[in-house]
Amino acid sequence: MKLGDFKVLTFDCYGTLIDWETGIVNGLAPLVARAEGKHGRDAVLEAFARHEAAQEQATPEMPYSQLLAAVYERLAQEWRAPVTREQANIFGASIPDWPEFADSAAALQYLKQHYRLVILSNVDRISFRASNLRLKVDFDAVYTAQDIGSYKPSLRNFEYMLRRLNEDFGLQKTDILHTAQSLYHDHAPAKQIGLASAWIDRRHDARGWGATVAPPGTPAYDFRFESLAEFVAAHRRERGG
């Protein structure tokens, strides 16, 4: 299997292209400052992951910005920190402030020359629009949890994407390389549905699972890179560049 075997790269966005862990930690800093006890970065991300996954299962049709506000309130209750609805909504609206990874925009601009680029994200449309400006590329399609009515790792999201790619572009499953950081949200369901995948292991030098819960078992993947820049370098080598 080679990178050049595929016609389209389907991307997770947050954690893969956008540095959501930095955005989450920065957005939760005021709450952490009011919380009982001390909560370091790893503990904050672990607690966020636990509550985000539970909220996504409980309210699969809730837009992500509203879901983030609900997660904020759940964390406030766990940490015994008084909060207002306004404070929760501010965190929910913080996605446009989440920074892109340093290599994302340039890598996407290169990859756009060789593939169709597609987003499959758990975020809502309005929030993604701001992130898209940071990424400086026109995606061929964007499919969000808001469009689908469920959150990854639900197979419904991947089935929706496959159907739309076939209907809109005539693409088959074998044309697609799903490219993502999260083993839980992306690689486990991608393999379950029969998609090839490339793991962008952004947390290769960190312990634990960060802002995602642990995946079931050890999900398989076909390629592994520690950054998107490394993916691009491998693609160039494959082409003899």
Pick from 156, 45, 151, 24: nearest CA to 94: 24
Stronger pLDDT, 206 or 122, i.e. the higher one: 122
Contacts of 214 (CB under 8 A, 6+ apart): 184
pLDDT single digits (tens) 193-213? 999 999 999 999 888 899 999
Categorize the per-residue pLDDT at 39 as very low, low, confident or very high, splitting at 50, 70 and 90: confident
Residue 145: both structure tokens together: 């949890």
Q: How far is CA 107 from CA 92, 94, 212, 228, in A?
A: 28, 25, 24, 6
- What is the percent of the chain where pLDDT is above 90? 90
Query: pLDDT, tens digit, for every residue of 160-177?
Result: 999 999 999 999 999 999
Domains and CATH numbers, the chain: 3-19+100-238 (3.40.50.1000), 20-97 (1.10.150.750)
Averaged over 3-18, what is the pLDDT? Answer: 97
How far apart CA 195 and CA 238 sit, in angstroms, is 21
Q: Give the residue-averaged pLDDT of 26-39.
A: 87
Residues in contact with 232: Cβ distance below 8 Å, sequence separation at least 6, in sequence order: 103, 107, 110, 111
pLDDT beyond 90 at 218? no
Residue 219: pLDDT band (50, 70, 90) is: confident
**Length of the chain, please?**
241
Task: Quickly list DSSP for 130-184.
Answer: HHHHHHT---SEEEEHHHHTS-TT-HHHHHHHHHHHHHHH---GGGEEEEES-II
Taking Cα atoms as reference points, which of 30, 155, 180, 142 lies closest to residue 90?
Answer: 30
3 state DSSP class of 220: coil
Cβ(99)–Cβ(24) under 8 Å?
no
Question: What does the mean pLDDT of the chain come to?
Answer: 95
- The SS3 of residue 112 is coil
pLDDT at 241 over 80: no
**pLDDT score recorded for residue 240:** 87
Angle (nearest 5°) at CA 57 between 51 and 215: 70
Please report the pLDDT score of residue 205 as a whole number: 87
For 21, 153, 214, the CA distances from 217, given in Å and listed in that order, are: 23, 14, 9
What is the pLDDT, as a whole number, of residue 65?
95
Catalytic site includes residue 12: yes
Q: Encode pLDDT of 76-103 as tens digits.
A: 999 999 899 999 999 999 999 999 999 9
Q: How far apart are CA 51 and CA 57, in angstroms?
A: 10
Instruction: Tell me what pLDDT residue 171 has.
Output: 97
Q: Residue 217's pLDDT is what?
A: 84
What percentage of the chain reaches a pLDDT higher than 70? 100
